Copies of this chain bind each other. A is one copy, B any other.
Amino acid sequence: MEPERPGEKLGILAGGGSLPRIVAAAARAAGWAPLVVRIGDGVTDDWTGYEGEAFAWGRSGDAIAYLKRHKVRRVIFCGTVTRRPDFRSLLPSFRTLVRLPAAIRMVRGGDDHLLRGVSRYLERDGFAMLAVQEIVPELLAPSGLLSNRALREDESRAMTIAATAARRLGELDIGQAVVASAERVIAVEGVEGTREMLARVGDLRRRGRVTPSERCVLVKSVKPQQDSRFDLPSIGEATIAEAAAAGITAIGVSAGRSLILGLEDVVAASDRADIALVGLADEQEEGRP
């Protein structure tokens, strides 16, 4: 999506990871003027070269005022939120205080619920929410085999097990990632995130709880009820490295509904690690052949 007029402000509500930078650079290239807002305690990312400001959770109400003062109409969420606000421990500013009841309602429920809540809240305030893929459509995962190596037969069975479990978990707004072998589910992502779940799998393998002959695959799947405007599952080069370190030999992601941060580099990293990378079509995710 292009700005209505060159130099239109785009509010980027930036979490952690590499995605916010990719979005900001693509937005700028498309003629937007990115305004990068970071909300959280102890946010230290370097955003030199971009206009913007960081707000502690206790001042998140001020962030809205900041966006309005800069005449921002369109905003986009991207990046990871690893640390949630503790509404008992913060000292809210006045603007945050008047919005506190809505904010508390928001953090009830899973992350998906949190984001839907924040989104509704911003829309009531007159902002339009954009999806990452409206700014950087080339990030969407293609369908089918992406790596050089195709799935082995046991990896294909493992993929079905992991995708079925991930889908089922997504219905409950639990994490988006599952590791399975052709025999069983090995690990399920909770709030710890994919990176730590993969570290756990590596650890289980080193301790012999998963044997060398049991090939494992990772599936990152979109939740069935997912609002595709935010928090699509994403993988990047780091994910491939973490998966390889955990002994994962194949990775499946939701085709068209998940993000691959730098397709060429991610595919090259998969090939180097001899990992089979596939974009799963909907019917594959539901365990249908």
Contacts and interface: CB of A to CB of B under 8 A. Distances in A.
Contact of A184 (B110, B164, B183): B110
A186 interface: yes
A200 B211 contact: no
Contacts of A175: 188
A83 B183 contact: no
A191 interface: yes
A187 B189 CA distance: 7
Interface stretch (A2-10, A18-26, A93-101, A166-174): A166-174
A210 B83 CA distance: 8
Contact of A183 (B89, B108, B168): B108
Oligomer: number of copies: 2
A186 B190 contact: yes
Contact of A212 (B88, B113, B179, B187): B88
A271 interface: no
Interface string A80-121: 001111111100000000000000000111110100000000
A192 interface: yes
Given A165-B172, A168-B168, A172-B168, A209 B184 contact: no
Contacts of A88: 211-213
A192 B200 contact: yes
Contacts of A111: 184
Interface of A: 82-89, 107-111, 113, 164-165, 168-169, 171-175, 179, 182-192, 196, 200, 204, 208-214
Given A84-B210, A173-B184, A188-B188, 10 more contacts: A83-B208, A86-B211, A168-B171, A172-B185, A174-B185, A174-B188, A179-B190, A185-B190, A191-B204, A192-B200
